Chain A
Amino acid sequence: MINSRSTVAALVFLPLLFFTAFFLVPLTVVATASFTNGDGVPTLANYARILLDTYHWSVIATTFRLGIVTTLICILIGYPLAWYLVRIVKFRSWRRLCVILLILPLFTSNIVRSFGWMVLLGRNGLVNETLQMAGLTERPLRLLGTETGILIGLVYILLPFVVLTIGNALAKIDHSLEQASADLGASPAATFWRVTFPLTAPGIAAGAIIVFALAVSAYVTPALLSGGRVTVLAVLVFQQYSSVFDFHYGGALAVTLLVFTMAIIGISSLVSRLGAR
């Protein structure tokens, strides 16, 4: 094509301009601010304040502990649920209803979903009442304002992603592979671990990466379910930008969150790629 260069330029010009102005430049501003002090002098003091301090490390540890445990629980519940929806459900209309109910939370704000758990997990909420009626506990458990409460909220919000990615992988498996394995004398367990599971591994990895990235950067759920008692990195970032207005220290916190998240996503996609070989 003769005019392909000008066509490309015309097509990419506006998207590139918009994303540079409102995405790249703002992020650069944050990164720059994180490496300077109030007078614009370059410094590493903002990072030193975070990385040389045990309080910040405990916040980082809480954030990543919540991220990792959320991811594991989502896979442990999500895999059987996806299996049930793809392999066990016989009736189309029931599966359809289940898929609608699975997607419904994704179409609802984090606020609404976390608010539902605030109602359920309170001292006199349904969860405590049920536990007491069943005789599992004498006094109401404190769930709101604990890591357990945040964990329940995060698993709830992120479970649909895992079910969808694993379910998609399961639905795409060619049944003849599993039949061949059975015909060649493999037990159902061996067929699962040697054929089915490896074929769904990319789905698990994709779901795990989404869940982890969203769990460590979540703000709304920890803010509502922690009642101010448990602090995660995103809450610290928000405090600096909304009430303390220290953009230098806040910027360093934001960059820290970004770098840790990207590093873990990078490592896990590398591992899953190596594992796939």
Chain B
Amino acid sequence: MILRNLICIVALFGMTFLVLPLAVLVGASLTTSEFLAFPPQGLTLKWYAVIFSNPTYVASFLTSTWLAASATLIAILLAVPAALAVSRYDFPGKGAFSAFLLSPLVLPHLVLGAALLQFGGSIGLTRNFWALLVGHVVIVTPFVLRTVLPLLSREQQAMEEASRDLGADGVTTFFLVTLPQIRSGLVAGAIFAFITSFINVELSIFNTTAELNTIPVQLFNYVQYSVDPSIAAVSSATIVAAAVAIILIDLTVGLDFLTTNDD
């Protein structure tokens, strides 16, 4: 019983620890003071008006969204064929191929960012949208591959063969049989890919400029020099957006993976 109480105390401490910094930022963004204060002094939404009327923030937000969406789309176009090849065919170097495509998951993003800057310098691919995009595609493709691969099972292969035996061609089979079965993995992978790209700093920081910036890199640059409530408002806007995304995932895909079978 003592042990059980101890576990509850550690757990509640852990949950508080996880919520505190985010709650502090949301709270601080509501202050009426000109400096960052928590607990907030008075309540106002004026700092949100400040950021949404600031063209630099709006431009960075659009860049981040556009970058994350493009990177996710290209990642799907690369990962799905790769997953099909790995799950459906035997070919020499198969293990190495999938390890190669999954390896950005464990590689420090900072190292990859530095590498792309140095390599991009030699072919003129630096400090523009395309330079950002290729790096983001490399880091998000493994997320899609990893969620789609387990869904391309043996049973499903039989369904594909049946579809072909009944006269459907490869393309029709893919869209009518294969795609519906990997859809859930594709959605989950795409969400992780989008978020990973949207919140990335370590890779983007090498190729962003004053004119072309993503939201996290811009925040990073501001936070190091000046701290005022508008930065808390930007942060809290991203926290609220993340919360909305998670609740949407919970309602569609479901987040009950910590639930045991017997309750």
Contacts and interface: CB of A to CB of B under 8 A. Distances in A.
Contact of B231 (A78, A115, A159): A115
Contact of B219 (A115, A125, A237, A247): A115
Contacts of B179: none
B247 interface: yes
B46 to A, nearest CB: 19
Q: Counting chain A CB atoms within 10 Å of each CB, which of B17, B18, B28, B219 scores highest?
A: B18
Contact of A217 (B21, B108, B256, B258): B108
A38 B91 CA distance: 42
Interface residues of A, number: 90
Contact of A18 (B10, B78, B243): B78
Contact of B255 (A27, A96, A116, A220): A96
Contacts of A58: none
A113 B238 CA distance: 11
B82 to A, nearest CB: 4
Contact of B18 (A23, A102, A254): A102
A120 interface: yes
Contact of B114 (A11, A80, A120, A254): A254
B115 A101 contact: no
A115 B255 contact: no
A83 B8 CA distance: 9
B223 A111 contact: yes
A265 interface: yes
B85 A241 contact: no
Nearest to A4: B89
B138 A19 contact: yes
Given A8-B89, A224-B224, A15 B81 contact: yes
B114 A83 contact: no
B104 A156 contact: no
Contacts of B114: 30, 237-238, 241, 250-251, 254
Interface SS of A by simple majority: helix
A220 B220 contact: yes
A14 B223 contact: no
Interface stretch (B52-60, B147-155, B182-190, B199-207): B199-207
A39 B13 CA distance: 56
Contact of A110 (B8, B120, B201): B201
Contacts of A100: 243, 246-247, 250, 255
SS class, residues of chain B in contact with chain A: helix
Contacts of B89: 4, 7-8, 11
B101 A254 contact: no
Contacts of B243: 100, 104, 107
B219 A113 contact: no
Contacts of A81: 10-11, 14-15
Interface in B116-131: 116-120, 122
A117 interface: yes
Given A8-B85, A112-B239, A115-B235, A26 B259 contact: no
A177 interface: no
A254 B115 contact: yes
B174 to A, nearest CB: 11
A134 interface: no
A12 interface: yes
B112 interface: yes
Nearest to B108: A217
Interface in B21-63: 21-22, 24-25, 28, 36, 38
Interface in A127-176: 156, 159-160, 163, 167-168, 170-171, 173, 175
Given A116-B20, A238-B110, 10 more contacts: A7-B85, A11-B82, A77-B10, A101-B15, A104-B18, A112-B216, A120-B24, A171-B258, A224-B223, A254-B115
The 10 A-B residue pairs with the shortest CB-CB distance, nearest first, are: A116-B21, A217-B108, A84-B11, A26-B119, A107-B242, A26-B115, A109-B199, A11-B85, A80-B10, A81-B14
